[in-house]
Every structure is written in structure tokens, then in C-alpha cells.
Structure 1
Amino acid sequence: MKRHVFSYPKDGSHKQWIRPRLVILLSTGDLSQVAGSVAKDLYHPIGRDVIACVLVEEPKRDEFIKKLQHSLQLMDERLHTHPNYLRSVETIKRLNCSTIHIEDIAEAGTKKQCHNITPGSPIVVLDFPQYYFGDYPPGIITLNSFRNISDAVKLCKRESLKFDTASVWSSKLAECFELVSRLDMPSHFAFNCMNAPFVSLAQYTHTNGMVLIVQNIRYEILAVNGKIKIVAFLIK
């Protein structure tokens, strides 16, 4: 294995989670946008601000998996032999996890195996939490389904990750705000958008009730259960 792979990325974000993100897709959310954004993140799933976990409401699960499967492309070639990714592949095989991946057709045609994963394929692990794959970015994303808001909250709390941002997708703002009120973390929530920047808002984390508009994003700073949370909306 090439020596440089062990030190990539150079900022050390392969050694520890740095601002991991959570995605929650409810039944009225935009499935196509979420699937496209997750597939884009899977091109380089090791680093800062990467999606770690996706939660999908059960009525959307099968359609979402199908859409995501069709959107996959091989990862950045620098990750094909990354030790974090290779350890995850071995864990997947050992635990016999169900996954979404690019199928190795040649291998599948010669061997009857459960995981004919094309080398360098992005991987989404189904029905497992992230902590099975270590306390650093493992080069894979996990996907779990939930029946209702309470179920989604339990799945979030099961994770040991300190999420920086939750991207919540629903046409019903009441559902989005219910998640804000019921989740202790993260402190940043993006409604129906994926990459709203929050870093520049650190100076406002002690200001309740403030509304800011930066470019085409509206930010609301709210005190929820004694904690300051920032909610972002796209302005169309």
C-alpha cells in the first residue's frame, strides 16, 4: 500500500470526524435532491463536513435506494486503497451487511458471493449505525429507515457521533421544527438544503431570536430547551 495514502487527506480529517453531517429525509421531502447530494458526497466520503448517516422515512426507503443506486460513480481514485475504506470493506464482509454499491459484474459471474463490490465503489451500509466502523471517517455512509419522528430521534441518539449539521427534508415545516426541538444535537439545522454554511455565524450563538439573511439563505437563531440552535432556509 502506498505510503502517501496513510496521510491523506493532509489536514488529518481521516483520523477523526470533523463536522460530520446527518441527513433526514421525511416522506414529503425531495427524494431526488437528497439522493443526488448523497451520491455526490460518496465520491469523496473521507474528510471534513462529510455526510456520515442518512435516515429515510420508511415509505421512501425503496425508492430512495433505487435512485441512489443509479446515481453512484466510482470514488476519487485516491480513496480506492485508503486503509479506512479497506477496513470498512472487511467489516462489511465479516458482519454480512446489506449494502448499496457498484456491482463487480465479472466477479459476480464467476463466484457466488454476497459482496461483489467493484474496487473503488462507494458503499452505503444498510441498517447499521456508524459506530460499528470505528471512531474515524470509514469511507462509507450508513442508511437507516424510521417509521415516525420518535423513531428518527431514537436512531439519532443511538449514534455516538457529534453531528455538526442535520439536513432535514420535508414539505412540512412543523416536522422539521419538531426535530429541532427533540434532538439535543446538532446545533445547526438546514431545512430542504444540504450545504448551508454555518461557520461564519459563530459570533451569534448567544443571540436568541435573531434573523439573518446571507446571500440567498435565511438563518434563524433560536433558544431551544436552553440551547442555542441555528436553522437555515433557502430563499427562492
Structure 2
Amino acid sequence: MANKSVPVKKVLSPLQPAITSDMVNKLQQTPASEAKISGSVASAWRSPQLMIVFEDGDLHSARQHLLDSLQNPFAEGAVATVLLQESVRDQFVGLVAQNLKRLEPQVAGHPSYVRTLAQIELLKANVIKAEGDVPADASPLLVSDFVSSYLGQPGPTGAITLQTFRTAREATLVNLKESVPYARVSIWNEKLACAYEVLGHLAVDTFTINCFNPDLSPIRSAFEANQNDVCLFKGYHYETLTVNFKRRIVVFPVGTMFAN
């Protein structure tokens, strides 16, 4: 028999521990998040994600999930754009840069990646690449201050764009320049109120807070039925609600609630 989600009122306890590393590092994974590298898919975005990292977020966990996308930018569910709060930009970029590795041949030889390298050279763009002996034409690419449309034709470019913001509201304004059809927004901020502030300003259905690619099946039926609902499942809080006349899904580790 399939597991059923449990209503919040039957599960929450004042003794619930604060967020733990297991909650963000050993996530439930949807089949889409397990996509393998493909050198033949580049004509359309495959459920791209927007990542927003605040100064109060877990930078190390956010970095780990961004690294996965940098190493495999053509995977389904990969991050296409990352927005960093100005106060932690240098620290976060440094954490990312020191962990970049040489790309797999399927990615480095991908036509879209090759075209993006040429476009970056033309634009003289500021790019964060792998350090050490990784060849420039086989490095993950984090491109600062350019939107994806400048890097190539519509669809994944093989690079992730990086923008900086100061406030939650400014983060949503910065992203209005992007034309990427995001499927999810991954927000990294221990302050839930600040994270919820973003919901009403982005035209995306699904928001995950302090986690990446969690299983959405516990809340899917309520969302599709256009009904408000809240439940807990395997240590995650799920809810679907209407914000600015648009239905949303919000997911975060249960401990996040007690850390605020």
C-alpha cells in the first residue's frame, strides 16, 4: 500500500529538531532529477530551475546542488540561473569555484556549450571557471551579469547565469530580465517570511525552500484539484495555496519551521 501524507496537526511537535544536514543533503528525488547527461538534447529547456541564495541560507548545501547543475547543465531540472545576495556573493562564488571539475565529454563537446564559449569570448564576459589544470574549453561555466539570451539561441546554453541582488524584492526584479521558462524556484534562506515574500512576484508554480528537487507527489493531487492543502511527508512540509490569484506549491524541510 502506498504511503499517505500525514496532516500537520497530527505530526508537528514542539520537540521537532531544527534543520539538519540530512534534510538537505539526502533528499527525496523525483525521476526527473536523476536525468543523465545527454549530448543530443539542446533544443528546449528541460524543467530549468531558478536558484535564489540569501545571506541567511545554508551556503554549503546550496553550493552542492548548484555544482551538480554546473557539471551537467543539460540535465532535466538543472539550475539555469542563480541569484546571490550581494553580501555573500564573493564567499559563495569562492566555495563554488574551488569544487568545479572537468566536464564530461558529452557536455564539453555539446554544440550549445561550444557556441556559448565563442559567445562568451565575443562578449568578454566575466566567467567563473574551474581552477587548476582543467582546460578552459572543458570547464563548467558560471557567467556573471548576462542573461541567458545573450549566450545563445533559445534553450540551454551549457552555462549558468549569475546575478546579484540586495533585497528579496530586488531579486525578483533582477530576474525579470530572464526569459527562461523556469519550472521551479529553489530558495535558500532560513527566514521563511523572507522566502515567502518572493512567491507572489515570480510566475512559477513550484517553490522549494532549503531543498532541491523533492518529490512532489504528496501535494500534487491537491494542486491539480485547485485546493488548499498542507501535509507532512518524510520530514518535509508540503502546502499548496493561492498567492496573487495563482496557485503555488511550497516545500521545505520540517526543521526549517522551528529554526525561525
TM > 0.5: yes
Mapped to 1, the partners of 2:175 and 2:216 lie a distance apart of 21
Counterpart of 2:167 in structure 1 is 148
Mapped to 2, the partners of 1:55 and 1:222 lie a distance apart of 25
Counterpart of 1:120 in structure 2 is 138
The TM-score normalised by the length of structure 2 is 0.78
Counterpart of 2:106 in structure 1 is 78
Mapped to 2, the partners of 1:232 and 1:212 lie a distance apart of 10
Q: Runs of 4+ in structure 1 displaced over 6 angstroms?
A: none
Once the two structures are TM-superposed, the CA of residue 129 in structure 1 deviates from its matched residue by 1.1
Once the two structures are TM-superposed, the CA of residue 103 in structure 1 deviates from its matched residue by 4.6
Counterpart of 1:54 in structure 2 is 82
Matching of residue 174 in structure 1 with residue 193 in structure 2: yes
Partner deviation per Cα, 1:170-216 (whole Å, 9 max, x = no partner): 11111111001222x21100011112133674432233320133333
The TM-score normalised by the length of structure 1 is 0.85
| Structure 1 letter corresponding to 2:54 | L
Partner deviation per Cα, 1:132-171 (whole Å, 9 max, x = no partner): 1221111110111001122111122211112111011111
**Which of 32, 41, 56 is the aligned partner of 1:28?**
56
Partner deviation per Cα, 1:34-83 (whole Å, 9 max, x = no partner): 11211122111113111000000000000011110011111222111110
Mapped to 2, the partners of 1:156 and 1:138 lie a distance apart of 17
Once the two structures are TM-superposed, the CA of residue 13 in structure 1 deviates from its matched residue by 3.8
Report if aligned partners of 1:101, 1:117 keep a CA contact under 8 Å in 2.
Answer: no
Mapped to 2, the partners of 1:214 and 1:135 lie a distance apart of 37
Question: Which structure 2 residues correspond to residues 79-118 of structure 1 after superposition, within 5 A?
Answer: 79-103=107-131, 118=136
**Which of 226, 236, 245 is the aligned partner of 1:207?**
226
Mapped to 2, the partners of 1:201 and 1:39 lie a distance apart of 28
| Structure 2 letter corresponding to 1:195 | N
**DSSP-derived class of the 2:176 partner:** helix
CA shift in 2, pair 1:97/1:104, >3 Å: farther
Q: How many residue pairs were aligned? A: 217
- Structure 1: state its 5+ residue gaps: 1-7, 106-115
Mapped to 2, the partners of 1:104 and 1:93 lie a distance apart of 20
**Which of 5, 8, 19 is the aligned partner of 2:47?**
19
Mapped to 1, the partners of 2:145 and 2:50 lie a distance apart of 15
- Structure 2: state its 5+ residue gaps: 1-36, 256-260
Mapped to 2, the partners of 1:43 and 1:234 lie a distance apart of 26
CA shift in 2, pair 1:187/1:78, >3 Å: same
Counterpart of 1:112 in structure 2 is none
Percent of aligned pairs sharing the same letter: 29
Report if aligned partners of 2:69, 2:75 keep a CA contact under 8 Å in 1.
Answer: no
| Structure 2 letter corresponding to 1:45 | P
Mapped to 2, the partners of 1:209 and 1:103 lie a distance apart of 48
Mapped to 2, the partners of 1:120 and 1:180 lie a distance apart of 36
The higher-RCO structure (CA 8 Å, 6+ apart) is 2
